[in-house]
Chains A and B, each alone.
Chain A
Amino acid sequence: MDQPITPKDVLQQIAKAIPDDVRGDIIIVGSLAAGYQLLRDSGQMIRTKDVDCMLAPHARAIVSATRVTDRLLEEGWKPQATPAYDLPGTAETPDDRLAVVRLHPPGTNEWFLELLGAPSDVTPEPNTSGKSSRRVQTNGGHFALPSFAYLGLVQFQPLMSEFGIRIALAEMMALANLLHHPVIGESLMGQPFANRQIKRSNKDLGRVVALAYLAVRKDEDALERWKSQWQEALKDRAKDHAESLLAVAPAGIHALLASPPDIEQALHTVNFGLLSATPLKEEQFVVAMRRLIQALE
């Protein structure tokens, strides 16, 4: 089971451990970013095991990832061992055996920090793949730095936290997830989620709905601004494909809405994740989806 953490505390701990001159290259994404901006006022805890940090821009991502990893290892952070990957990786380790940088802070195994790299650009067509990886050579061995096709969109106007680390906007994380899953794909998550096998698309689309729900809970007009923010972001990061990507963005939510078994899975993931403190009933989850669709039309 993922452990409950307080977004502000974790962010402060990461900020302290990271060198000043690379702190500005980090953008926090995922549950922590969502919790920081949407649950901060309530002081609510969130359940997550991973804290995702994207290194941007793409051109500096490898150098920054190396420096961050070296520094955290010096500070006593420990790499997470996974049987499927070689740890420590060496120059001889094949790319597909390289472990991702996943570091537990000193004294706890409750959560780990995971490094991601900004992709070079936004993939023109929505799809369910788009993962790429580059090799990082650190004092602690060789690692992989993965990138995801649409995650580069979180570089659009991230928030600056009081700890000097940037936080991805909730609506940009939602857009990245939507473009990643225009349909309900069949691939499953690598690990069971709260003791269940879950489709990756259901987890990611469920996250979109949870972000929308929390955004509305904070400001009932929030969703009306999402579409214009998405337009701006896509013009900025994928100018030639902005219109087509924007048009297809709601497709994943339509697909989810039409499939009750997938709705049930998606709801399971958010009720054991971002919304664990205030779980939703299925009816409420469906309303949140329909409100999002209404705002995007």
Chain B
Amino acid sequence: MTVQVTVGMRTARDLRSMLMNAAYSLRGSDDQEFLCLLFKSGFSNKRLAEEVEQFLAVVRTDLGRRVHLKALKSPSDLVHVLPPSICDAELEELQLRVAEALSGKPKNSSKEAVVGMLLHRWINRLPAVKVPELAALSGASFPTVYAALSMIEPSSLHRDEDRCVSLCGFSPEAWQQWLSISTDSIKAKFIDRSGLPRSPEKLARQLAKLGRQDVAIGGVLGAKHHFPGLDITAAPHLDLLMHGTQHADLSFVEQLDPGLVRDDSTQAHGHVIVNFVNRPHSLFVMQDGVMWADVLDCMVNLWDSHLLHQVENLINHVAPGGLRYQIGN
């Protein structure tokens, strides 16, 4: 059984889209089932029943009867809607997924997030901070913060008499290491199935229309926003930054373009790539109705796209003193 968990669904369009996608996904099998779980949805039970009735009226009977829709209040309600055959391990995994989806925000941060916060403060000329403040800002535990600080070259780390820490430099090797680790995170890839892909610029305009506070534009478009002189003419795809975990509801991507479908396989060339921000504060900035990702997140996206020259271009623009020499030399 395939289970899709959504949180906060409000529109009939999203609901119909989810049901139709479920039906499409079942075309290849005769006995596979699809369970759509709605948490915190805006639909009454009567309305859901009406929508299911309409859905069943327009799809093949053998597909429609295998798509199930349930509106639930909490993960504990799962036991009442799942088939008795489900094992404890599967139930536990599903409850965990639901709990994370309901929380929607990262629970803890990594060492690279701590270093990233120090980089953010350095390039924005923000004052040095004590370890507890750094831990709070980056969402990391004290041990993680100390481990992160130990990774930084002593010559690049400044500790003042008040036990505050800040960066005073960052070598090309340190940039390379931080960028490489930062790109090694889970992403959601969406490919185009229209044969006529929308440009990243148009997709970004669609995102702005949605007015989301938790999703920002990164990648080449974001980098060019921060540094219009970036040496690149076009974005190869749209990078988005989502403030949340990989279990967050990504159904908004279909509103960017109905031609997009998720494909996380390694060979898939993502036309839209959703990256997840792993810290308590998103650092997104709204400007002229568009939510932009932090410049360092954009830089990580460029690195992930193997745009080394543009990464160096961007570092030289934002980092005090720029790069002393090229990365990799």
Contact = CB atoms under 8 A, between A and B. Distances in A.
Contacts of B259: 287, 290-291
Contacts of A100: none
Mostly helix, strand, loop or mixed at chain A's interface?
helix
A281 B194 CA distance: 9
Contacts of A260: 60
A252 to B, nearest CB: 15
Interface in B209-250: none
Interface in B157-200: 193-196, 198-199
Nearest to A291: B258
Contact of A287 (B194, B199, B202): B194
Given A221-B202, A291-B259, A294-B258, A259 B194 contact: no
B195 A280 contact: yes
Contact of B196 (A217, A258, A294): A217
Interface string B250-274: 0000010111000000000000000
Contacts, number: 32
B87 interface: no
Given A220-B202, A258-B58, A284 B258 contact: no
Contacts of B255: 294
A41 interface: no
A137 B193 CA distance: 53
Interface residue range, chain B: 10 to 19
B194 A288 contact: yes
A111 interface: no
A290 B258 CA distance: 6
Interface string A181-204: 000000000000000000000000
Given A287-B258, A290-B258, A291-B259, A281 B195 contact: yes
26 contacts: A216-B196, A217-B196, A220-B198, A220-B199, A220-B202, A258-B58, A259-B58, A260-B60, A281-B195, A283-B193, A284-B193, A284-B194, A284-B195, A287-B193, A287-B194, A287-B258, A287-B259, A288-B194, A288-B196, A290-B258, A290-B259, A291-B194, A291-B257, A291-B259, A294-B255, A294-B258
